[in-house]
Amino acid sequence: MATIKDIAKLAGVSVTTVSRALNGYSDVNAKTRQKIEQIAKEIEYSPNALARSLVMKQTRTIGLLVSGLSREGAKDNIVFDVLTGINEYCGAQDYDLVLFNTTSSKQKEKTYAQLCRERRVEGVIVQGIKKDDPYLIEIFESNIPCVLIDVPVENETTGYITTDNVDGSMKAVRYLAELGHTNIAMINGHDQAFVSKERRKGFELGMLEQGLPIRNDWIVNGEYAELKAEQVGQELLSEYPEISAVFCASDLMALGVMRAAKQMGKKVPEELSIIGYDDITLASYVTPALTTIAQDTFRMGYAAAELLIGILKQTEESRVRLIENELKIRETTKEKT
């Protein structure tokens, strides 16, 4: 593979000159430059980013730590959307992305900092990390610039992207209350997710605001899984037939509840209103189409990359970006009769 040395030899100049010419420095004779560029093209030279990074101490590379990069992740397209957003902005800024293997057994032995430092990534975007993940503390303690998706951690080098989950959930409750529902249950995710807490809080605040009673036995965990939500939903709905509306902390769980209702012969939305959270692709395609609190996951990814690169360039003061969410009314909600 051709190097600048080869070019230097062919052009009869020093490697320094070649380096300068190829990097567009001004202090190079126009003729020399032309000759060098000509030769570079001829021998199909491509700069060795490794060598350059080694001496420049920057790689223009961002690491990606994604937990949901698994088969199940395909159902909700969240991980994918975020990734797409990240890719979009990083591409525009000429940063490359490296996907870290957290799946690998070998890799799991490495600490977070090791993972990052080895590859000399300039920053990291972390997605789908849980509260109890040991990496989380490391992320906070290390001084590697990092942006987390939906995990509120903040310091000099760490920031995060999220939506207002409290407000989002309140919107859902408010809408259900507007429709005349008073017996509202909630299927929440699991305790290892930060957003769960928030969504629950929003649910409770919303109920309070609407003067509705909060019943702890009407708030159950669905583990963010469709099947689990179907099970607990069925239990809940058969034990308390008076429940007329369910707010779910994810669309996938809402789909589970829809299935539960169907099996029990409970008509949605006539006998049961359901609101989900996320607005995944499936939400608008199922029948009846799911009313949900929509998050713009693409923008979350885009903003994450924006924030991270802002931190890297030190042009960014803030460490938090809040993305809007929005109630999308579709067909699973209806006035209480």
- Contacting positions for DNA (CB under 7 A): 1, 3-5, 12-17, 19-20, 22-23, 26-33, 45, 47-48, 51-52, 54-57
Q: Which of 31, 216, 285, 315 binds a copy of itself (CB under 8 A)?
A: 285
Nearer to a copy of itself, 138 or 316 (CB): 138
**Is residue 251 within 8 Å of 283, Cβ to Cβ?**
yes
Among residues 114, 156, 131, which one has the least CA distance to residue 314? 156
Q: List, as one string, the DSSP characters of 44-65.
A: T----HHHHHHHHT---EEEEE
**Is residue 182 within 8 Å of 196, Cβ to Cβ?**
no
Based on the shown chain and the rule CB under 8 A, indicate whether residue 47 belongs to the binding site for a copy of itself. yes
Based on the shown chain and the rule CB under 8 A, indicate whether residue 83 belongs to the binding site for a copy of itself. yes
Nearer to DNA, 14 or 104 (CB): 14
Q: Within positions 1 to 30, which residues make up the interface with a copy of itself, using CB under 8 A?
A: 1
Please state, in angstroms and rounded to a whole number, the distance separating the CA atoms of residues 178 and 293.
16
Q: Which stretch binds a copy of itself (CB under 8 A): 92-100, 124-132, 188-196, 242-250?
A: 92-100
Q: Which of 16, 34, 42, 92 binds a copy of itself (CB under 8 A)?
A: 92
**Is residue 157 within 8 Å of 190, Cβ to Cβ?**
no
> Two tokens at 80?
């994918």
Among residues 54, 92, 269, which one has the least CA distance to residue 176? 269
255 binds, among a copy of itself, DNA, none (CB under 5 to 8 A by kind): a copy of itself
Say whether 246 sits in a helix, a strand or coil: strand
Nearer to a copy of itself, 77 or 169 (CB): 77
> Two tokens at 132?
């109890």
Strand partners, 161: 149, 321
Nearer to a copy of itself, 185 or 254 (CB): 254
List contacts with a copy of itself (CB under 8 A): 1, 44, 46-51, 53-54, 59, 61, 69-71, 73-75, 77, 79-81, 83-84, 87-88, 90-92, 94-107, 113-114, 117-120, 255, 281-282, 285-287, 298
